[in-house]
């Protein structure tokens, strides 16, 4: 089994880490993610990971509840650090080395992120988990993962979600929604599809980073994407 890609950026949703819980981290889901990631690491793929924080705190919805937007976003950044520590712990327990990098200096919780240190970790067979978003308010973790994917020179950004790709409408609400096998960045704009926010989509478009949106919650799917099976939706 050979991987189509040598180096990837995997974007995981914080909400997915809740699994069957109402908030926080579901240990079962965390373990499933760790084993899927270890499985593709054994193919020799170099892996960078960015995780959202929506299972713990979401800056934007915090702002609507009266939190200062900047402080809310900083709380969201810290939530991504908590998730990253949890994932690195699960990976190490599964026998896969991982290192946590943080966008702002948080020694000794994680190493201060730099492109070179992250690439060095990946080349040493460690998984680089890059937390804290971009380190700035007003940027989502989608934008953070687009930025990090471009920086670490990943060939593709894999966006693991609850849904098995991009549809003409939200398939959870509209049963007539049709799935795309592939779609261009421009068409996402024109159709107003909520795949990622516009900043993230623009970054990927301008730097030619393709995105594959797929269902990460089905064990085995991550490996299928990497070995070239036609699941999910390719954004190009």
What pLDDT, on the 0 to 100 scale, is given for residue 172?
Answer: 85
Tokens of 65: 């509840």
- Closest alpha carbon to 101 in 167, 66, 51, 140: 51
Domains annotated on the chain, with CATH? 7-235 (3.40.1160.10)
E strand or H helix at 120: helix 115-123
Give per-residue pLDDT as tens, 108-151.
Answer: 999 999 999 999 999 999 999 999 999 999 999 999 999 999 99
Tokens of 196: 């990622």
Low-confidence ranges of the chain (pLDDT < 50): none
Tokens of 106: 């948080």
What pLDDT, on the 0 to 100 scale, is given for residue 120?
Answer: 98
8 Å CB contact between 214 and 193: no
- Closest alpha carbon to 130 in 24, 3, 222, 10: 10
CA-CA distances (angstroms) from residue 13 to 18, 92, 208?
A: 10, 20, 22
What pLDDT, on the 0 to 100 scale, is given for residue 171?
Answer: 87
Report d(CA 202, CA 83) in Å as an integer: 26
What pLDDT, on the 0 to 100 scale, is given for residue 224?
Answer: 97
């Amino acid at each position: 089994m050979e991987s189509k890609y040598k180096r990837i950026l995997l974007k995981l949703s914080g909400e997915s880490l809740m699994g069957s819980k109402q908030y926080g981290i579901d240990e079962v889901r965390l373990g499933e993610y760790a084993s899927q990631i270890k499985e593709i690491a054994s193919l020799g793929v170099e892996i960078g990971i960015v995780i959202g924080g929506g299972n713990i705190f979401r800056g934007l919805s915090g702002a609507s509840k009266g939190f200062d937007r900047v402080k809310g976003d900083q709380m969201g950044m810290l939530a991504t650090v908590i998730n990253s520590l949890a994932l690195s712990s699960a990976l190490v327990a599964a026998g896969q080395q991982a290192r946590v990098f943080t966008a702002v200096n948080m020694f000794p919780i994680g190493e201060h992120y730099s492109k070179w240190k992250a690439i060095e970790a990946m080349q040493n067979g460690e998984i680089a988990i890059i937390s804290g978003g971009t380190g700035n308010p007003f940027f989502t973790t989608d934008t953070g993962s687009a930025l990090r994917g471009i920086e670490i020179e990943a060939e593709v950004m894999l966006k693991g979600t609850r849904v098995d790709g991009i549809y003409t409408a939200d398939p959870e609400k509209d049963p007539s929604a049709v799935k795309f096998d592939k779609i261009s960045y421009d068409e996402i704009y024109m159709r107003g599809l909520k795949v990622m926010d516009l900043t993230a989509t623009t970054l990927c478009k301008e730097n030619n980073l393709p995105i594959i949106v797929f269902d990460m919650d089905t064990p085995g799917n991550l490996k299928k994407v990497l070995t070239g099976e036609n699941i999910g939706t390719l954004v190009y």
